[in-house]
Amino acid sequence: MKINRYYALHDNDSELKKQGAFAIKLEEANRYNDLGYGIFHTPNDFDGARRKENLIKINYWLADIDEGDKTEQYENILSLIYKPSKIIESKNGFHCYWKAKDATIANYTKIEQGIIQRLKADKGCKDVTRILRAPSFYHWKDKDNPYFVYEVYDFSDKKEYQYSEKTMLTAFAITENKYKYRPFKTRTEIDFGNPENWEKLFKLSLICEGNRNNELTRICYWLRDEGLTRQEIENILLGINSKISSLPETEVRAIMKGKI
């Protein structure tokens, strides 16, 4: 069994870049990095070539976040209920990893799509064969201003930072189109702020441990799209939360972050 972990891909020479990423040994990485190659690694295990059919084990779910301001990116990451097991900072953003206790190829892309939606991550980073920049090496795309890629933290060995597939499917469920859930055409037809209407509108009896975060997220998007103010939405979500098997108020407010 041969597991390739590290790869080199030239960062700024277009001709050398045409050869694509090629496998290297860790002890060769510094030499290639000094020559202007970006050093990458695969978080998952393959027997031989990095192809789906050679996959042995899924170790992590991933996110490559490079859109917008880094401070906002990091705040968005930290607002997650299930935080990444490991974070790497690169030049334009962050690479996040969630350590898998169990994972199947059948649900891998589905979970990746949910992560991408939640964090506004790179839509191309959703296949199991993906490689990302390895920490402790330079990013050379701007050869006159190299950026040192580094590890922000790695808690992958801690049990509380290791996640089951079921947890990830729940935590990063894809938010469906708002019209699927709207029993009323316009805001004027119903008073969203009246608690007497919440069971009919939001089906409170169906919200329970395991789907609370997803359901409150769905309701948050719905109310936002109906034109309610942030304060109105917060009051309604906290009110709903008090009537169900409730989440901590900090988690309810975290659900709203970045959505309104």
C-alpha pair distances (Å), 247 with each of 16, 81, 196, 218, 254: 53, 11, 21, 15, 11
Summarize pLDDT for 29-50 with one digit per residue, the tens: 999 999 999 999 999 999 888 8
Q: Provide the β-strand partners of residue 65.
A: 94
Summarize pLDDT for 98-153 with one digit per residue, the tens: 999 999 999 999 999 999 999 989 988 889 999 999 999 999 999 899 999 999 99
pLDDT score, position 29? 96
Rounded to an integer, the average pLDDT of 79-88 is 94
pLDDT score, position 230? 87
CATH superfamily of 6-163: RepB DNA-primase, N-terminal domain (3.30.70.1790)
**Is the pLDDT confidence value at 176 over 80?**
no
Report the distance separating Cα 129 and Cα 11, nearest Å. Answer: 20
Which of 93-97, 161-165, 179-183 is least confident? 179-183
Type of residue at 103: A
Confidence of residue 213 (pLDDT cuts 50, 70, 90): confident
E-state strands within 105-205: 132-133, 137-139, 147-154, 162-163
Domain ranges of the chain: 6-163, 175-256
C-alpha pair distances (Å), 59 with each of 102, 105, 120, 151, 247: 8, 11, 22, 18, 29
Percent of all residues in the chain with a pLDDT value above 90, rounded to a whole number: 57
**Is the pLDDT confidence value at 14 over 70?**
yes
Summarize pLDDT for 60-73 with one digit per residue, the tens: 999 999 988 899 99
Predicted structure pTM score: 0.68
CB under 8 Å to 92, separation ≥6 — which residues?
A: 66, 70
Q: What are phi and psi of 122, to 5 degrees?
A: -60, 120
pLDDT score, position 182? 45
Summarize pLDDT for 143-153 with one digit per residue, the tens: 899 999 999 99
Summarize pLDDT for 216-227 with one digit per residue, the tens: 988 988 888 888
